[in-house]
Chains A and B, each alone.
Chain A
Amino acid sequence: MPGLVHVSTTINGNPTDFLCEPRQSLLEVLRDVLGMTGTKEGCNDGNCGACTVMFDGRIVTSCLVLGVEAQGKEISTIEGVASPEGLHPVQQAFLENAALQCGICTPGFIVAAKALLDREPDADEGRIRHWLAGNLCRCTGYDKIVRAVLDAEDKMKA
């Protein structure tokens, strides 16, 4: 039986060490080992995007990354999106546009949308919809989410 592996990584800018089994996903490590439960599990097979995190500058589904792969990497999660001064414009726009109902998909959408706006501040609606196609929402019908991202984009440019 393989033992626990010691992993040194950076999460939301903080050097972080943890022990995990090689079979554990990064999602399991975040939630069950590190107690960072902001990242959600929906499908556990890469389809829903609820578990989206930034992994070395790209959005990935953390259910399809092994915890041991985090060694030496830079990870950021929903817990790193707000600043001490307040909510991130994407978060604020989700609230103001009622872009969430049950909320299970919301952390994944926010991490993914922020990644898009950080790299493409002028993304149009079509681009936003394409970028977010890997995030599923059971409740909202998506339109309010897309409105919220467009609204956040305006606020971030202002």
Chain B
Amino acid sequence: MEAVEYTTPKTVSEAVQAMASKGDRARALAGGTDLLVQLRGGRRSADLVVDVKDIPELNEISYSSSGGLTIGAAAPCYRIYQDAAVAANYPGLVDSASLIGSIQIQGRASLGGNLCNSAPSADAIPAMIALGAVANIAGPNGTRQVAVEDFCTGPGRNVLEPGEILVSINMPAPQASSGANYLRFIPRNEMDIAVAGVGSSVVLDGSGQNFVSGRISLASVAPTPVFCEAAGASLAGKPVSDEAIEEAARLAMEDAKPITDMRGTIRQRVHLVGVLTRRTLNNAIQRARGE
């Protein structure tokens, strides 16, 4: 790895100042499980590494039934899945946080890093999109919010401008009779990159028999994570049935624009989107019903 400078800002504004001082030659460091691999491999380079882990807002995990869940951008996966409020209210998020990498990786890897690394295969991004997450960004010109489905712009690219950092991710409080799930397909049991992944969430009516709304998002089948707006919207107002789930899966498969590479073929990936959409919807429905 080439020589870099290193700084540990204690506040968001110090971090923004440090980032802005080096423009696109500065990189934020959270768990380092993407960044250090990339800097060492020469896939990214930087003059300044800004370690954001000492900033309180980036470490926060807080939940309220009115404001929902705020997860600091640097909070590592293990703190997310060990948090009682997260486990109780956002099992769909726990699904993704507990399958990223190994126990070692989960000790460091953050959801903020997963989002800012903006890999098409990132496991937490579809789970966050399904949950309607919003990214809170701070920069030299103040703060702004971007829906997670609008955050990534290409492989490894996103809406962050030089000088900006991700501060936290906000997810609305779960509605009554709602549930979510994330699943991916990998050829091993652990430690692999998704061939395809699907995150789904549903809201059911009081009877548990009809869809009020749904959100579906895909990993590893396009240059960015995919938000399948039509597939999710197709559920609204329909009775919970195999036909409604099948139609949503068909629409999700239409949104998948994968490539063939060493992990899988186009045909396999589109097929997997159908299978995983059905499975995640069924799991989300079970969770919504409290089954």
Contact for A23 among B4, B31, B33, CB less than 8 A: B4
With A22-B6, A134-B101 as given contacts, are A60 and B107 in contact (CB-CB < 8 Å)? yes
Task: Give every chain B residue within 8 A of A64 (Cβ-Cβ).
Answer: 31-33, 36-37, 105, 108
With A22-B49, A66-B36, A133-B189 as given contacts, are A49 and B3 in contact (CB-CB < 8 Å)? no
Binary A-proximity of B1-41 (CB < 8 A = 1, otherwise 0): 11111101000000000000000000001011100110111
Q: From A40-48, A76-84, A87-95, A146-154, give the one contacting chain B.
A: A40-48
With A25-B36, A66-B36 as given contacts, are A46 and B107 in contact (CB-CB < 8 Å)? no
Contact for A61 among B2, B40, B49, B104, CB less than 8 A: B104
Please state if A46 and B4 are interface contacts (CB–CB under 8 Å).
Answer: no
Is residue A11 within 8 Å, beta carbon to beta carbon, of the partner chain?
no
Is residue A19 within 8 Å, beta carbon to beta carbon, of the partner chain?
no
Q: Which residue of B lies closest to A111 (CB)?
A: B104
Is residue A58 within 8 Å, beta carbon to beta carbon, of the partner chain?
yes
Contact for B104 among A21, A25, A112, CB less than 8 A: A112
Q: What is the CB-to-nearest-CB distance from A30 to chain B, in angstroms, rounded to a whole number?
A: 15
Provide 15 A-B residue pairs closer than 8 Å at the C-beta atoms, listed in order of the A residue.
A22-B4, A23-B4, A45-B37, A46-B33, A49-B102, A52-B104, A58-B107, A59-B103, A60-B107, A64-B31, A64-B32, A64-B33, A66-B29, A69-B32, A133-B191
- 11 A-B pairs besides A59-B104, A61-B105, A68-B6 with CB distance below 8 A are A21-B3, A23-B2, A46-B105, A64-B32, A68-B51, A69-B51, A112-B104, A133-B189, A134-B103, A134-B190, A135-B102
State how many residues of chain B have any CB contact under 8 Å with chain A.
30
Q: What is the CB-to-nearest-CB distance from B123 to chain A, in angstroms, rounded to a whole number?
A: 15
Instruction: Give A contacts to B, CB under 8 Å.
Output: 1-2, 5, 21-23, 25, 44-47, 49, 52, 55, 58-61, 63-66, 68-69, 71, 112, 130-131, 133-135
The number of A-B residue pairs with CB atoms under 8 Å apart is: 84
Is residue B185 within 8 Å, beta carbon to beta carbon, of the partner chain?
no
Q: Which residue of B lies closest to A68 (CB)?
A: B6
Please state if A46 and B37 are interface contacts (CB–CB under 8 Å).
Answer: yes
Q: How far is the CA of A2 from the CA of B1 in the complex (A)?
A: 13
Binary A-proximity of B182-211 (CB < 8 A = 1, otherwise 0): 000000011100000000000000000000
